[in-house]
Amino acid sequence: MSAHTDTMLYLDGVSVAFDGFKAINNLAIIVKPAEMLAIIGPNGAGKTTMMDIITGKTRPDTGQVLFDGRTDLTRLDEAAIANLGIGRKFQKPTVFESQTVWDNLEMALKKPRGIFSTLFYTASDDDVARITEILETVRLIARKDELAANLSHGQKQWLEIGMLLAQDPKLLLVDEPVAGMTDSETEETAKLLREISQTRSVVVVEHDMSFVRELGSRVVCLAEGSVLAEGSLDQVSANPVVIERYLGR
Amino acid sequence: MLILRALRLVLLALPFLLLPSNAIRAQDAATDIPAAIQAMGEANLRELEQIVADLAATGSDTVVPVLTALGDGNLYLEETSGAVLIERGSTYLEPLSGEAVELGADADLSKIRVNNGLRRDIAAALAGMTLMSDSPARRLTAAQGFLANPDPANIPLLDEAIAAETDANVLKAMQAARAVTILGDDEQSVADRKAAVPLVASGAGRNALTILNSALNGAPEELAPTIQSAIAGLEQERAIWGALQNVWFGLSLGSVLLLAAIGLAITFGVMGVINMAHGEMVMLGAYTTFIVQLVIRQNFPGLLDYSLLIALPCAFLVTGAIGVGIERGIIRWLYGRPLETLLATWGLSLILQQTVRSIFGPTNQMVIAPTWMSGSTEFFGLSITYGRFWIVIFAIIVFLLLLMVLNRTALGLQMRAVTQNRRMASAMGIRTPFVDAMTFGLGSGIAGLAGVALTQIDNISPNLGQNYIIDSFMVVVFGGVGNLWGTLVGALTLGVANKFLEPYAGAVLGKILILVLIILFIQRRPRGLFALKGRAVEQ
Amino acid sequence: MLTQALFRALDKKAIWVIAIFLAVAVLVPMANLLIPPGQYGHVPTYLVSLMGKYLAYAILALALDLVWGYCGILSLGHGAFFALGGYAMGMYLMRQIGSRGVYGNPVLPDFMVFLNYSELPWFWLGMDNFWFAMLMVVFVPGLLAFVFGFFAFRSRVTGVYLSIITQAMTFALLLAFFRNDMGFGGNNGLTDFKDILGVSVQAQSTRATLFAATAIALALSVLVCSMIVNSKLGKVMIAVRDAESRTRFLGYRVEYVKLFAFTVSAIMAGIAGALYVPQVGIINPSEFDPANSIEVVIWTAVGGRGTLIGPIIGAIVVNLGKSWFTTTLPELWLFALGALFVFTTLFLPKGIVGLWHQAWGRMRRKTEHAERPAPPTPAQSADIERGEDPASFGHEAQPKPAE
């Protein structure tokens, strides 16, 4: 275990099967602190299942999943893992549509999550300032009192990223963040993620190759539940197996 | 016996052809039967005793009516002619031939009196005689009579009969009777009595426990352990049969639950629709049966025995059509909102109940069981009523048919496809709305079939369905949704568990316990016994 | 902290609702006691009790709304909590009869004498003390809800499954309370009450007081609910309703949020039951009937769930309708109720309050030509309505196999 102290996320030998179908097969991935990792791969490669395993939604059949080099994530539930400092953005933007943008962020804000501390919670000036700051970062300040349901698809993506920021996690899992965004928004997102990765670990799953290129990070290509290739984007996309299985000739 | 048969053949040609054959055998015996009977008229008690013994010793069946009549006080002396006659109602019979006798106007009848001691002798004599009878059935009855009233004096008689017996069943009964007699006789040796115990235990049937227990009361010390162990063995055996009987009752209840729940398993499992009006579909099926029988009784009384069979397709079509109507009219607007569906169908169930109540009144209606469904049979130690038996069979047939529809027909294939991936199914050209309607209709139709079966065990009232809806949901939830086998196992398990809890906890408390156990079970396995797994399920 | 929470609770519309019911608590008893019969404005005593009954129902509907409208838990067993509170009150009232019962036993209630009890069962001890009985009114339903909810929510029993097992719970209690040897009077329940706190239950002034107590309890319930739903916890509850698993990924313990709402709600239901029993004079096992619990759901749905005023309006309107039907057209009542279920779910998903909002919003838009953004489209709000994981948002209304 001590060997993994310099990792933020450590997966080794992870397998999970649904009714005999191996969604994840002997997967091994390492993310270091303050490092960005992009994960690419065809549909059904197990990207979302991998995120489910890390965040406690799915229990792996075998394998080791360690956070911060010491915490065994396979024993914890979703809430406990989230409170450890792992934030997740879903493939489909999932924000609380019947509540305002502000309330969405207020709920995400890193504060005690207990029943009575939330019942008697009153936003302090610091909290208000922090939420306002995030709203500016994700460019939703003008729409802070609107229902999240009224946002466009791209804006919902931004709101969810904002909620991630409000959670102040050590590790961010971001599933297809730029789907439905315009080119300039995509560019902004890449910039924001690069900025975040200065201080935190970020795992991005994305199909958009130009976006992955902009991230400029290490890339892992998944296929059929295990790692196909690893390295810089150029290295991975030059890999003949990757071309065969994913990119196409 | 061979000689007798040969003799009989010879005698066939003789003029007294119509005489009972045994009368001829009697003529060979030492006692002259007609004379002995004649003598009864004037005999005093002691002489009568002797005559009874002599008659009994002939072993002839012909003397049985006389002795019976004497014991019952129906034997009379006609003073003027000196004839002895048997009284039957207002006529008098000749004791040997059994022919009625015309009495003259001057007839003077007096009863031949007997006392209690003589009555006992007569009873014993009759039993002894029937023990030697030609008919195995009669010999069996006699042996059972000895078993019920053991008397050490009969042991030699029994020994004799056992030696001559050829029928295995009768032999067993005689041995049991002998064993019971020996066991109950203090004068027999302990070793003999010990040897008798297992015979009593195996041969004395339902009374064995009582006999052994009463024998245990006065038993000497050496004998007691043998009897006790025999009692323990019997009690264990009885417990096993009791358990089997309970299993049967449980299966019978389980099959009713299965019938009620299986339609629900389709609508809930395949479509995700909570149909709170499902119970009312069952109720409508029962009322359809009632109407069908009413029509048949008035117009085609000859078909009355088949009214249930005729009601089956009618009930299926009626409730199925109503189901399709409900799906098209209400449920399709509420897909994806299970809680609203629950409320709307509950409202519907209130309307259906009240409609039936307005038409048929709140009182219970009756459906008469066909002859082939009434009565019961003994199957080893189990008592099985035909009604229950046919319901179990019916439930199995419905289950298998449904399994076949789902797995072997085009509709079943489409239903499964729609369950697994609605969009894809739609893209493949399956008319999903049609499949939805048919699925719901099928589930409702099966509820109607359940209603037909329930007419045989429950009152037909507007509230009929209410009694089953919660149980049905429990079955589906317990068995796991979307899995017919789960429903089968769930229904049978709950049925059997219910019947096993009942003797210990009482019917109501047993039911409460079951509900509590299911609630606890759902905590453990929120998706039921046979749950589907995988990522697809969670989304 | 608490003062801030209270202050937050009192803003918006809640303060009006609370003020109205406090005013009702004063005015109706005054109209009953001070204005002599026959004079204009007099409220007859039977009407006071009838209105008191409706207000107790309103508390029950509000309690259900807290779990269903705000937290997405459709409980089909809230009648059980109501009845348990009612039984606790009924036990106190039984003990107050003393030796005035038919059998004249100073300790044992009539039914126990009849059933040959030699002494009070242990759970009847202390119920002659008003404060202890009132403690039981909140404790027993609260404890049941806590234990039941703890197991159910921890193992993530949700949606219709939860609805069905809550129904099974109340059904099991129904069967249990029908049993004579449970020690709760079996079939007949508890009735023939004489005194409450030393005054006659039947007296006009007692009836007026009970009404006032019910109205005040309703006002307090609105205050408590308003405090909860306007807090951050209330927002988390709505988040749980709309997207349970997403809330979990934010680090909230969904099971505890639900458990809190469920327990608070059960306690409110218990209090409603306790106020109901002395006003109607009887509590019997039929209160546990699953049909009653579902009727509560329809009150809430008709009024408008997810609002504080909706369930109160719904409870009063539906029960007024029920009273009218059962006196004038009794055989049609079940048709009307059934139709109400179907109609509300199909055409009035947001209830009367939603309808009013819609009408009001349309009127305002017309007059102001407001540049305010459009309200959520019907499709979107239907999605939210469903209380589903947004992962499935955007689908058309289509059946899904049960999970």
CA distances from A199 to A136, A163, A169, B194, C400 (A): 20, 17, 10, 94, 43
Sheet holding A62-67, edge to edge: A21-31, A9-18, A62-67, A71-72
**Phi, psi values for residue A48, rounded to 5°:** -70, -35
**Within an 8 Å CB–CB cutoff, is residue A100 touching chain C?**
no
The model carries a pTM of 0.80
Instruction: Tell me, yes or no, whether B160 and B291 share the same domain.
Output: no
CB nearest C249 (choices: A78, A118, A122): A78
Tell me whether residues B470 and C392 touch, CB distance under 8 A: no
Beta strand A218-223 with A36-40: parallel, antiparallel or unpaired? parallel
Q: Are residues B298 and B217 located together in one domain of the fold?
A: no
Regarding whether B193 and B89 lie in a shared domain, the answer is no
Interface contact A147, partner C, CB < 8 A: yes
* DSSP notation for C288-304: G-HHHHHHHHHHHHHH-
Return residues 26-85 of C near B (CB < 8 Å): 74
For residues B114 and B157, membership in a common domain is answered with no
Q: Do B375 and B327 sit in the same domain of this protein?
A: yes
Rounded to the nearest angstrom, the minimum Cα separation between A242 and chain C is 30
Q: Report the share of chain C in percent with pLDDT over 90.
A: 67
CB–CB of C239 and A99 under 8 A? yes
Residue type, C95: R
Q: Are residues B91 and B176 in the same domain?
A: no
Percent of chain B having pLDDT more than 90? 18
Verify whether the Cβ–Cβ distance A96 to C256 is below 8 Å. Answer: no
What SS3 state is found at A219? Answer: strand
List the chains bordering chain A where 3 or more Cβ pairs fall under 8 Å: B, C
Q: Is residue C393 part of a domain?
A: no
Quick one: average pLDDT of B510-536? 71
Question: Within the 283-322 window of chain C, which residues sit less than 8 Å (CB to CB) from chain B?
Answer: 290, 294, 297-298, 301
The residue among B327, B350, B508 with the most chain C CBs within 10 A of its CB, best to mutate, is: B350
User: What is the reported pLDDT for C241?
Assistant: 93
Residues C97-149: pLDDT tens digits?
Answer: 988 888 888 888 989 998 888 889 999 999 999 999 999 999 999 999 999 99
Is residue C396, in this structure, part of any structural domain at all? no
Tokens coding B360: 């048929």
CB neighbour class for C291 (10 Å; exposed up to 12, middle 13-18, buried from 19): middle
Burial class (CB in 10 A: 0-12, 13-18, 19+), C31: middle
Show Cβ contacts of residue C237 under 8 Å, excluding neighbours closer than 6 positions. C70, C71, C228, C229, C257, C261
Radius of gyration of chain A (CA): 18
Average pLDDT of chain C? 87
- CA atoms C251, C256, C262, C264: torsion sign: negative
The confidence score (pLDDT) of residue C11 equals 67
Please tell me whether residues B92 and B199 are part of one structural domain: no
How far away is chain A from the Cα of B530, in angstroms, using its nearest Cα?
Answer: 13
**Measured between CA atoms, how close is A230 to chain B, in angstroms?**
27
Distance CA B517, CA B511 (A): 10
Q: Which run of H or E residues covers position C326?
A: helix C309-328
Q: What is chain C's length? A: 403
Query: Contact, C84 vs C273, CB < 8 A?
Result: yes
Question: How far B420 CA sits from the closest chain A CA (Å)?
Answer: 15
For residue B403, what are the domain limits?
Answer: 241-483
Query: Which residues, including other chains, have CB under 8 Å from residue A64's CB and lie 6 or more apart?
Result: A10, A11, A12, A13, A14, A72, A74
Report if residue B411 sits inside a domain. Answer: yes
On the question of pLDDT at C193 being above 90, the answer is yes
Q: Judge: C338–B340 Cβ closer than 8 Å, yes or no.
A: no
Q: How would you write the pLDDT of chain A (249 residues) with one tens digit per residue?
A: 445 678 899 999 999 988 778 888 899 999 999 999 999 888 878 888 899 999 998 889 999 999 988 889 998 989 999 999 999 998 888 899 999 999 999 999 999 999 999 998 988 999 999 999 999 988 899 999 999 999 988 889 889 999 999 999 999 999 988 887 888 888 888 998 998 899 999 999 988 888 999 898 999 998 888 888 888 888 888 888 888 777 765
Q: What is the mean pLDDT of residues B197-208?
A: 74
H or E element that contains B121: helix B116-131
Phi, psi dihedral angles at A99 (to 5 degrees): -120, 160
In which element (H, E) is residue B196 found?
A: helix B190-203
Question: Residue B171 pLDDT more than 70?
Answer: yes
Strand (E) or helix (H) holding B433: helix B432-454
Task: State whether residue C341 sits within 8 Å of chain B by CB.
Answer: yes
Determine contact: C243 vs chain B, CB below 8 A: no
Instruction: Note whether C298 contacts B343, CB cutoff 8 Å.
Output: yes
* SS3 call for A71: strand
State whether the Cα torsion B414-B418-B423-B424 is positive or negative: negative
B533 and A52 within 8 Å at the Cβ level: the answer is no
pLDDT category, C360, cuts 50, 70, 90?
confident
pLDDT at B16 over 70: no
* Cα–Cα dist B507/B491, whole Å: 17
Question: C327: Cβ–Cβ under 8 A, 6 or more apart, which residues?
Answer: none
Residues B256 and B203 in one domain: no
Instruction: Name the residue range of residue C192's domain.
Output: 2-388
Residue A167 CA: distances (Å) to CA of A107, A109, A192, C31: 9, 5, 16, 56
DSSP state of A147: B
Name the residue in chain B with its Cα closest to that of C292: B346
Domains contained in chain C, number: 1
Phi then psi for A97, rounded to 5 degrees? -70, -30
A201-205 vs A36-40, strand pairing mode? parallel
- Helix, strand, coil content of chain C in percent (nearest 5): 70, 0, 25
pLDDT band at residue B28 under the 50/70/90 scheme: very low
Domain boundary among B464, B483, B502: B483
Q: Distance from CA of residue B129 to its chain's centroid?
A: 34
Residue C268: pLDDT band (50, 70, 90) is very high
* Total structural domains within chain B: 3
pLDDT at B419 over 90: no
- Residues of A within 8 A of C1 (CB-CB) are 120, 122
Which one-letter DSSP state was computed for residue C186?
A: G
Instruction: State yes or no: pLDDT of C292 exceeds 80.
Output: yes
> Does the distance separating the beta carbons of C294 and B522 come in below 8 Å?
no
Residue pLDDT, tens place only, B237-290? 888 888 888 888 889 889 989 998 998 888 887 777 888 999 999 999 999 999
Q: Give the distance from residue C41's alpha carbon to the nearest chain B alpha carbon, in angstroms.
A: 39
CB contact (8 A) between residue A57 and residue B533: no
Q: Are residues B25 and B146 in the same domain?
A: no
Query: What are the φ and ψ backbone dihedral angles of C264, each rounded to 5 degrees?
Result: -60, -45
Cα–Cα dist C251/A78, whole Å: 7
CB contact under 8 A, C294 and B270: no
With respect to residue B512, please indicate whether it lies within any of the assigned structural domains: no
CB contact under 8 A, A18 and B535: yes
Amino acid at C301: A
B515 and C172: CB-CB below 8 Å? Answer: yes
Residue C383 structure tokens:
């999605």
The rounded distance, in Å, linking the Cα atoms of A34 and A194 is: 10
Identify whether C400 is part of a domain. no
- What share of chain A in percent tops pLDDT 70? 97
List residues bridging with A15 in a β-sheet: A62
B9-23, B515-529, C7-21, C164-178 — most confident range: C164-178
Q: Does C131 touch chain A (CB under 8 A)?
A: no
Instruction: Say whether both B258 and B151 belong to one domain.
Output: no
Any domain includes C402: no
Please state, in angstroms and rounded to a whole number, the distance separating the CA atoms of residues B76 and B111: 4
* B86, B92 Cβ separation under 8 angstroms: yes
| Residue B423 neighbours by CB distance under 10 Å | 12
Length of chain A: 249
Confidence band of B501 (pLDDT split at 50, 70, 90) = confident
Torsion of CA B306, B311, B314, B317, to 10 degrees: -130
**pLDDT (mean) for B397-426:** 86
Report yes or no: A99 at the C interface, CB cutoff 8 Å. yes
The rounded distance, in Å, linking the Cα atoms of B231 and B204 is: 12
Residue A92 with chain B: CB contacts under 8 Å: none
User: Which of C345, C384, C385, C393 best tests the B interface by mutation, with the highest count of B CBs <10 A?
Assistant: C345
Print burial letters for A93-132: b (CB count within 10 Å at least 16), e (below 16): bbbbbbbbbbbbbbbbbbbebebeebbbbeeeeebeebbe
Tell me how many degrees the CA angle B238-B243-B248 measures, rounded to the nearest 5.
125
Q: How many CB atoms lie within 10 A of CB C250?
A: 26
**Residue C200 dihedral angles phi and psi, to the nearest 5°:** -65, 135
Q: What percent of chain A shows pLDDT beyond 90? A: 48
Distance CA C140, CA C186 (A): 19
Check pLDDT > 70 for residue C383.
no
List Cβ neighbours of C276 (8 Å cut-off, separation of 6 or more).
C53, C56, C57, C82, C86
Specify the CATH number for the domain of residue B371. 1.10.3470
Please state, in angstroms and rounded to a whole number, the distance separating the CA atoms of residues B430 and B416: 11
Whether residue B26 lies inside any domain: the answer is yes
DSSP state of A247: I
Residue B316 confidence (pLDDT): 96
Q: How far is C95 from chain A (nearest CA, A)?
A: 38
Query: Is the CB of A107 less than 8 angstroms away from the CB of C393?
Result: no
Q: How far is A205 from chain B (nearest CA, A)?
A: 18
3-class state of residue A189 by DSSP: helix
Residue C105 to residues B224, C87, C94, C112, C114: CA-CA distances in angstroms? 53, 21, 12, 10, 11
**Average model confidence (pLDDT) across chain B:** 80
pLDDT class of B48 with cuts at 50, 70, 90: confident
Within 8 A of A48 by CB-CB distance, chain B residues are 535
Distance CA A98, CA A95 (A): 9
What is the number of CB-based contacts under 8 A between chain B and chain C?
A: 166
Same domain, B99 and B157: no
User: Is residue B358 domain-shared with residue B288, that is, in the same domain?
Assistant: yes
Q: In chain A, what are the domains? A: 1-85+170-248 (3.40.50.300), 92-168 (no CATH)
Give the CA radius of gyration of chain C. 22
C152/chain B closest Cα distance in angstroms: 6
Nearest-angstrom CA–CA distance, B524 and B271 = 25
Strand order in the sheet with A86-89: A86-89, A171-175, A201-205, A36-40, A218-223, A226-231
> By the 8 A CB rule, do C269 and C82 touch?
yes
Subunit contact A58:B533, Cβ cutoff 8 A: no
